[in-house]
Chains A and B, each alone.
Chain A
Amino acid sequence: MSAPAFDRGAALIESGESPARRALRRFLTHKLAVFGLAVVLLFVLAALFAPWIAPHDPLATSWSRIRQPPSWAHPFGTDENGRDVLSRVLWGARASLMAGIVAVGGAALIGVPIGLLAGLSGRWVDAAVSRVADAMLAIPFLILAIALAAFLGPALENAMIAIAVSISPVFVRLARGMALDARSTDWAEAARALGNPPWRVGLFHVLPNIAAPLLVQSTLAIAEAIIAEASLSFLGLGQQPPDPSWGSMLNAAQRFMDTAPWLAVFPGLAIFLVVLAFNLVGDGLRDALDPRGQEG
């Protein structure tokens, strides 16, 4: 993981444009990234306004319309309990996006301070933190999340905790690496020489400079966390029935693949689209925030 050059000033002098504006302009010229952002916003709106835009109650069962194929009344069909699949997919966006954003936010809140501390203080703190991060990264991400969720007990909150803890070492490593790089720069040296304690150097001098890679990493991590939440819910370790989540809908759909294939299509398509969108935004941000120029 190579650090970006810490000389944004040069770019600023050349173009007369602030780094944030420059990044925004470059992001907006990236058509796929803008498309991704639009899709993300669409899903966020769907999650926020699910109660108003969903055509039916996502929990209302009806024995008279079990497993009906897609129609005008039910564009995505109905499930094994006669519930409207479109409404459940819209409501399911809540669990998915919330899990993705909360888990990654939590992972960053745990991981970044620990990583900064390790990188800035060095010696045994760094050695200890790095070994623990290594150990956590040695356990495959999903296996760790499953094991944590299993021991914590099945619930959406526990799934989010499990995912946050499992992703956190990635942020520890990122923050540590950037702090190590920043430590050797003149401005960090100057901040230290002025008598700032390490936490102040980390918070006010190093953190703003690693914001860009953190943003990129977080966006890509949300994509991963959404897949993880769907996986845990698929296994019954996330959102509990009857509350809708894309993972548990796919799990139920498995039993009716020969008679009701649409049940397996729409929730999966929703996961795919939102994950694709976050990946596009992440790739676009990486290109836009890369201080080295147009390459990408």
Chain B
Amino acid sequence: MSGFLLRRLGQVVPTLLIVSLLVFGLQQLMPGDPALILAGEERGDPQVLAEIRAGLLLDRPVWEQYGRWLWRLLHGDFGFSWRIQLPVADLILEKLPVTAQLAAMSFAIGVALGVPCGVLSAVWRDRPADWAINAVALFGISTPNFWLGILMILLFSVQLGWLPPSGYVPLWEDPWQSLATTIMPAFVLGTGVASVLMRHTRAAMLTALSQDYVRTARAKGVPERVVIAKHALRNALIPVVTLGTIEFGRLLAGAVLTEQIFTIPGFGKLVVDAVFNRDYPVVQGVVLATALIFVLLSLLADVLYMLINPRLRAGA
């Protein structure tokens, strides 16, 4: 187990280093001079431009820029926002709880819908219920999240007036209002997760149901309900748990457009606002943060896979 963990950590470090190189490289794609953007009104003043360039190390060779940038990154310094006079790390930490709440709610909806539907559709394979569930999942995968969000606002806020169309209230300020403002975006994101989880649960259940141990259990007279719940499902869930962890990572990494549509002030809104304001350090910071979250959650997925899979547990 510890050997596996060490090997896995050994992969994480180079991956993150390359991520940092890619994110740094984004700067080089930028057309024009960042100093001109930053100088704003004073762009005609060469003195000001020179100061800004020196401050951003733009007058140094690229490799030195990267080295210093990485060094600060390793000390938790993600740079400084160009528009809001705050450190990027502070902005990211401020948005994290919002996105985390939304991700947790979406994930709960996704699991509650996706896993049981996947099991039912495998058990009722090739019957009308299976077709119906598959059709809904295919629709779920094919519907752009932001359009589903717009349609939900149209129905529940504009037509019926049941839910607020946008805004966000923190959970600790007013739990009910907080749920009311996040239930629609959570449902939009949750259905996407549910579609993916349903397809994988179905495939895993079909594999499990065709195994010898399931046939043995049936042959010795175990009730079908117990065969499905205990023998097949518990084995089928092993790959689903891994996938679920990765899906959770994707949710945390940003429900970019969904947050934008429902004006939820999380990661997604942060990166979109930064793009609009040409606040490049914030864009880079969010890309780095989401990649870091994703890499850590994949690591967690692998560890969970080890822990819940008895075969691997015994071997390690």
Contacts and interface: CB of A to CB of B under 8 A. Distances in A.
A137 to B, nearest CB: 8
B127 to A, nearest CB: 16
B27 A151 contact: yes
B316 interface: no
B253 interface: yes
B144 A143 contact: no
Contacts of B229: none
B287 A147 contact: yes
A276 interface: yes
Give chain B's interface residue range (CB within 8 Å of chain A).
Answer: 35 or more
Contacts of A99: none
A227 to B, nearest CB: 5
A250 B148 CA distance: 11
A17 interface: no
Given A148-B26, A271-B147, A134 B256 contact: no
A148 B257 contact: no
B147 A250 contact: yes
Given A139-B291, A143-B256, A254 B150 contact: yes
A279 B284 CA distance: 32
B196 interface: no
Contact of A139 (B146, B151, B256, B287): B287
B310 to A, nearest CB: 23
Given A151-B27, A257-B150, A261-B154, A237 B275 contact: yes
Contacts of B165: 257
Given A250-B146, A264-B150, A234 B287 contact: no
A150 B153 contact: no
B154 A264 contact: yes
Contacts of B260: 235
SS of B interface (majority): helix
Contact of B257 (A136, A151, A235, A261): A235
Interface in A129-145: 131-132, 134-136, 138-140, 142-144
Nearest to B138: A279
B280 interface: yes
Interface string B1-40: 0000000000100111011011100110111000000000
Given A132-B18, A235-B260, A271 B139 contact: no
A264 B26 contact: no
A254 B157 CA distance: 13
A253 interface: yes
A204 interface: no
A268 interface: yes
Interface string A241-262: 0000000001001100110010
A235 B278 CA distance: 13
B110 interface: no
A261 B152 CA distance: 12
A142 B275 contact: no
Contacts of A143: 253-254, 256, 271, 286-287, 290
B295 A138 contact: yes
Give chain A's interface residue range (CB within 8 Å of chain B).
Answer: 35 or more
A146 B253 CA distance: 13
A21 B146 CA distance: 40
A230 interface: yes
Contact of B144 (A231, A236, A257): A231
A143 B267 CA distance: 10
A52 B284 CA distance: 44
A151 B287 contact: no
Report which residue of A146, A257, A275, A280 has the largest number of chain B beta carbons within 10 angstroms of its beta carbon: A146
A272 interface: yes
A211 interface: no
Given A140-B253, A150-B275, A230 B144 contact: yes
B218 interface: no
A207 B19 CA distance: 30
A36 to B, nearest CB: 10
Contacts of A140: 250, 253-254, 290-291, 294
Interface string B253-268: 1101100110000000
Nearest to A275: B142
Contacts of B143: 272, 275
Report which residue of B14, B165, B298 has the largest number of chain A beta carbons within 10 angstroms of its beta carbon: B14
A223 interface: yes
B283 interface: yes
B50 to A, nearest CB: 24
A153 interface: yes
B272 interface: yes
Given A132-B18, A223-B142, 9 more contacts: A131-B11, A139-B19, A143-B256, A150-B283, A152-B31, A231-B257, A250-B150, A257-B158, A264-B147
6 contacts: A140-B254, A142-B256, A146-B272, A261-B154, A265-B151, A272-B143
